[in-house]
Amino acid sequence: MIDKVAVLSSGGLDSAILIADYARSSQVFPMYIQAGLSWEAMELRALRAFVAAIRSPNVEQITVLQMPAGPLYRDHWSMTGQGVPRADEPDRNVYIPGRNILLICPTAVWCSIQGIHRIALASLNENNFADATPEFFQRLGTALSNGLEHEIRLESPYSGLSKGEIIARNSSLPLHLTLTCMVPVDGKHCGKCSKCHERHSAFVKAAIQDQTPYAVAPE
C-alpha cells in the first residue's frame, strides 16, 4: 500500500509539478485553500485542468477548503487586484503575510481527521520569506503534531531548487495549463505582473519553450 500525502496546490507551475512528482510513488490528495484572493477562480480552474490532463490514478479528487481571509487582508492587493506588484518590483512586494500559515494549518487539521501524516509544499530556493524556510516547516510541523495529537510532517523537496530547474526536469508535463499570474485576463496570464515575469524567466533559464498564453508578451 502506497503512502498518502496532502499536496498544497495553487494551480501554479511549482505545485502542479509537485503533484505529478509525488504521484509517481504516493497517493496524492491535492489541497486547494480558498481564501478569497482575486485570482482564485481561474487558478482553481487551471489546477483542475492540469490534474485532468495528467490522468494519474494516484491523484485523488481535489479537496477545496474555504478559509476566507478577507477580514485579515481587507484592502490588500491580493484581495482587490489593485496595485499588484509588477515585474520590476522587488520580491518582498509579492509577500502575502502569513500565507503559508493559512495554507498549512487547515490542511493539517483535515489530515488529522483523514489519517494522513504528510503535507508537501512546492517551496523553492527563491522563496526566502520567513514562513518558507526549512526551519519554519520543521518547527510548525512539530507544533501541529503536538496540538493535534497526530504526527504531521511538512515536506518541501524543492527547497534547494529554482523554478527553472524543476521546469527543465518536468518539461514533458502540460505546464501550459498551469496559472502563475496575479491578474489573469480572459483566461490568459497578464504578462505584466511579477509572477508572470518570474514564470517566463524560468522557462528562458531552463531553455524550454514557454507555451504559456499571455495577454501581453513578457519583456
Return the HEC string of 157-194.
Answer: CCCCCCHHHHHHHCCCCCHHHCCCCCCCECCEECCCEH
CATH class of 4-166: alpha beta
| Cα 56 to Cα 34: distance, rounded to the nearest angstrom | 24
The C-alpha cell at 177 is 495549463
Domain locations along the chain: 4-166
Q: How far apart are the first and last CA of the chain?
A: 48
Please list the pLDDT of the chain residue by residue as tens digits (219 residues). Answer: 689 999 999 989 999 999 999 999 999 999 999 999 988 999 999 999 999 999 999 999 999 999 999 998 999 988 898 888 888 888 788 888 889 999 999 999 999 999 999 999 999 988 878 999 999 999 999 999 999 999 999 999 999 999 999 999 999 999 999 999 999 988 899 999 999 999 999 999 999 999 999 999 987
| Cα 70 to Cα 100: distance, rounded to the nearest angstrom | 16
The 3-class SS string of 44-107 reads: HHHHHHHHHHHCCCCECCCEEEECCCHHHHCCCHHHHCCCCCECCCCHHHHCCCCHHHHHHHHH
The predicted structure's pLDDT at residue 94: 84
